[in-house]
Structure 1
Amino acid sequence: MNTRHLLLTGLTLALSTSAWADFSASPEEARGIAKEAYLYGFPVVEMYKTLYTQAVDSKSPNYKAPFNQIGNTAKAFTAKDTAFVTPNADTPYSFVWMDLRAEPLILTLPPIEEHRYYSVQLIDAYTQNFAYLGTRSTGNNGGHFMIAGPDWQGQQPVNIDRLLRSESNIAYALYRTQLFDEKDLAKVKQIQKGYKVETLSHYVKQKAPAPAPKVSWPKPTPTMSETPDLFRYLNFMLAFTPPQDIEKDLLARFAKIGIGAGQPFDLKSLSAEQHKALEDGISDAKAEFATLKKDKIDTHQVTSGDFFGTRDHLKGNYLYRYTGAKVGIFGNSAEEANYIGYFVDKNGQPVDAGKHDYTLHFDKGALPPADAFWSLTMYDGKNQLLVANPLNRYLINSRMLADLRLDADGGLTLYVQHKNPGKDKQANWLPAPNGPFYGVLRIYLPQPQVASGEWKIPLLTPVDAKQ
């Protein structure tokens, strides 16, 4: 019986530091392995941080609901919401953290009017989007959908519309329900009340199986994602993820620095040389990301669609999976939404509203082509959260077009800056922090010309230099 099986069938699954797995790699080899393992494990650990604050720590201001229950946020995100970076303020969220060890869950969706976009993004412990429910994938007529873990073997009820499997026994269902405006909030709340979650045994009215072992969820630390301590949390989370055959050799390589499902990872047992090798490997990984961001992300040579999706879509590119978790964890797959990040201006310079005002201009007939809607949202460059401002305006989206002022030629110019541009331009003002920022243009259900490049992405233009 292997270690992972013992952990999952014992009385308690916990993060241990009482022993130390073999660290057989030389310092030079360990540095290379640490780089790979950091890129591989960062999304898993970042996901754990969100899991802990939303489903485990009931005292957290970001707590939503216990495992296998749904938590609804009946408001759009604001600057006060800090559970995860780069939040979407267009669509109030609902959250289900799924523990699939004992049995599957049934997600029931109500019928929703055809003109309203909604989705349920199903995410495994690696942050891979393994499936979707909702407008694009299953329509707006509702239905019953079963989510099963990797170990489940059983009979699918006849009235289940679709069976979907997660690679991991811990998974996340992230619901987005389009909010048209403040007056629409009551309707969104009513829709959210129709989202139902129940265990398979409850759904079919049969006796529940034996409960899964109790888990001692380790408390996150402030630096857990930035230091070798990440590997300790990675080992804990890997106990919920049966190894994939395609990763057999990779995981064997990771084992040379003590990484393995459910294994202890005690940094105090390392020599100074070994510890430095891990830190250097992490630095190498961060440097590789920085190069990717500068050369390809900031220049729009790669898009969000490259970073989010299924395992098959990502094709083993752990740098891309890391990038997704780093710049906007739980981002949508390309067919669901396209994300365009504005980190630099048209001259390739980092955007900073403490130094410049900016405009973003769309030519007549060249607004983002979306079958659902589009939205430009502002984020603080320092903390990656929404920006507090006098208008309480965090975005400009296609639902607001009637209230925006068009240019004389029918185009649209948005003013991206810290100070109010004046009454004549305020309708088109997207408030920025007094310092570094970035914007994200989201295109929900993007039309083909987005992926083909036929639609040209407009760039931020600095309009003045402040003294």
Structure 2
Amino acid sequence: MAMPRNQARSPFIAGLRLAALLISVFALGACGKREPESAAPAPDPASAAQPAAPAAADATRISELRATAKDAYIWGYPIVEGYKSMYQQAVDAKGANFHAGFNQIGNVAQVATPKDTSIITPNSDTPYSFLWMDLRAEPLVISVPAIDAKRYFSVQLIDLYTYNFAYINRAATDGKASVFMVAGPDWKGETPKGVREVFRAETQLAYGLFRTQLFSPSDLDNVKRLQAQYKVQPLSAFLGTPAPPPAPPITFPPYDPEQANGLGFFSYLNFLLQFAPTVDSEAALRQRFAGIGIEAGKPFDAAALPPADREAITAGIADANQALEQFIATEINTEKVSSADMFGTRAALKDNYLYRFAGAKLGIYGNSASEADYQSYFVDAQGRPADGSQHDYVLRFAKDQLPPTNAFWSVTLYDGKSKLLVDNPLDRHLINSAMLPTLKRDADGGLTLYIQQASPGKDKESNWLPAPAGPFYVILRNYSPGQAVLDRSWQKPALTPVERKAD
């Protein structure tokens, strides 16, 4: 909970008052015999006002510190949240979520399950391949195979800020085997022969997130064959030239969620900022943050701060989270803001750091609008939070009103607390367009999905998406969405609560 501002500065004010009282007592004792009142000199108004000046100045400083901490947390949260994925996937080789070291591709030949915890709100339609890139020494060259037009695939290129700075997809390759290069902010050179296009990252560390569509369990071997053809190599290896000197080794601090969610957040942020050179549009912002100790590569020792400063920074973090809660309630749940606003390039987001903060909190590494559309169900048709312990729900698509897509759509359910997939007896976490032949249609040709904890009955289980006995949310994804989705002329159906049948 945020601390009231007067409470944050009360120790200082109380100290001043006590000091003033002691001075008065000492003065009376030292004088001995008290002189007549008429002989006492008149108090100087200017000197009487002096003790209040430091208090006012410190109160202003504490208020500014709190405001700056709030803004720094909103701006820096996606960077630190991304570090969780980086550390688990590419640094902690003994961890359950490790996939491959830097500049290597780690393939996962299965869709996401409840056991996958390194990314919140993961999709479970496309097996992932992971590439964490260290671009300090030289660029990397990425090769992708020819992929059938019916199968969706993409390589989402993301910088440390979590901006999607480029895509390798069907539009970039025309479905043909292609070679691309990713360069860091310090590289200067021309596009090498044999490279189709060069993509430039603003940061020295970056992420390549590969998605390859899986049509059905029997299709898994096909996905594995495609994943095996994704290749990455340093530019020097691609050109057959001597490699440049290696970049200095990095000592990565272990990721601790408790530390990252407290004042230790700023220690992680300072560590990561050394790989994120200041861009011109953020020079003033970074200078302002430096005023409270947020600087690239510098230590941030929260324990060494005065108690009032620690309280102010902690209150600033609470203010940031409170701003997010209000934003979700008034902008996202009311559908004034969509995923199209929260994910994309730096230019597309227009320095709206609250949008980027919300995207990282709700589902980091979301796609840009042109690549995928995400529509959420955090509340039902009556505006109440979705909760499987309280209600059963239906999601009904009217005849000819399935999501218009150029690739595929899916409806995926997540636990409201962990933001991960939910264990259930069917081992089913989504219903998507590839499953349409197995789904039961309504009498009028529509499609009703049953989202509830208990089975809706054997005759309806094909359309059942199991919910937990507690809060949950649903994400409707549309990959390569149709124009009617992008311009919102197509409207998603409501998540409608229905009367629960008695046991």
TM-score range, shorter chain: over 0.9
Amino acid at match of 1:260: E
In the TM superposition, residue 466 of structure 1 has moved relative to its aligned partner by 8.0
1:389 is paired with a residue whose SS is: coil
CA distance in 1, matches of 2:429, 2:197: 36
CA distance in 1, matches of 2:245, 2:197: 25
In the other structure, the counterpart of 2:50 is none
CA distance in 1, matches of 2:287, 2:501: 55
- The answer to whether residue 454 in structure 2 is matched with residue 419 in structure 1 is yes
In the TM superposition, residue 27 of structure 1 has moved relative to its aligned partner by 1.0
1:405 is paired with a residue whose SS is: coil
Question: Of 179, 204, 211, which residue of structure 2 is paired with 1:176?
Answer: 211
- The answer to whether residue 410 in structure 2 is matched with residue 375 in structure 1 is yes
Once the two structures are superposed, the pairs formed by residues 145-224 of structure 1 within 5 Å of their partners are 145-224=180-259
Deviations 1:132-189 (A, max 9, x none): 0012333321211000000012343111000000000000000000000000000000
Amino acid at match of 2:375: I
Is residue 417–residue 430 contact of structure 1 (8 Å, CA) maintained in 2? yes
In the other structure, the counterpart of 1:386 is 421
In the other structure, the counterpart of 1:35 is 70
In the other structure, the counterpart of 1:15 is none
In the TM superposition, residue 25 of structure 1 has moved relative to its aligned partner by 8.5
Q: Structure 1 length as normaliser, TM-score?
A: 0.94
- The answer to whether residue 278 in structure 2 is matched with residue 243 in structure 1 is yes
CA distance in 1, matches of 2:172, 2:230: 17
Amino acid at match of 2:86: L
Once the two structures are superposed, the pairs formed by residues 109-128 of structure 1 within 5 Å of their partners are 109-128=144-163
CA distance in 2, matches of 1:211, 1:416: 53
In the other structure, the counterpart of 1:61 is 96
- The answer to whether residue 307 in structure 2 is matched with residue 267 in structure 1 is no
In the other structure, the counterpart of 2:392 is 357
Q: Over aligned residue pairs, what C-alpha RMSD do you find?
A: 1.4
Structure exhibiting the larger radius of gyration computed from Cα positions: 2
Structure with more of its chain in helix, by fraction: 2
Question: Of 30, 43, 48, which residue of structure 1 is paired with 2:83?
Answer: 48
CA distance in 1, matches of 2:237, 2:455: 55
Identify unmatched segments of 5+ residues in structure 2: 1-57
Residue 207 and residue 25 in structure 1: after superposition, are their counterparts in 2 closer, same or farther (change >3 A)? farther
Q: Structure 2 length as normaliser, TM-score?
A: 0.87
Is residue 144–residue 229 contact of structure 2 (8 Å, CA) maintained in 1? yes
In the other structure, the counterpart of 1:442 is 477
CA distance in 2, matches of 1:199, 1:343: 43
In the other structure, the counterpart of 1:286 is 321
Once the two structures are superposed, the pairs formed by residues 226-237 of structure 1 within 5 Å of their partners are 226-237=261-272
1:393 is paired with a residue whose SS is: coil
CA distance in 2, matches of 1:121, 1:214: 26
CA distance in 2, matches of 1:63, 1:234: 22
Deviations 1:41-98 (A, max 9, x none): 1000011111001000000010000100000000011111111100110000000000
2:291 is paired with a residue whose SS is: helix
CA distance in 2, matches of 1:247, 1:333: 22
- Aligned residue pair count: 445
CA distance in 1, matches of 2:255, 2:499: 43
Is residue 191–residue 197 contact of structure 2 (8 Å, CA) maintained in 1? no
1:406 is paired with a residue whose SS is: coil
Residue 24 and residue 333 in structure 1: after superposition, are their counterparts in 2 closer, same or farther (change >3 A)? farther
Identify unmatched segments of 5+ residues in structure 1: 1-22
1:435 is paired with a residue whose SS is: coil
Deviations 1:105-137 (A, max 9, x none): 000001111110100000000010000001233
Deviations 1:223-268 (A, max 9, x none): 2332221111111100001100100111111111100111110001
Question: Of 251, 276, 295, which residue of structure 1 is paired with 2:330?
Answer: 295
Is residue 44–residue 125 contact of structure 1 (8 Å, CA) maintained in 2? yes
2:314 is paired with a residue whose SS is: helix
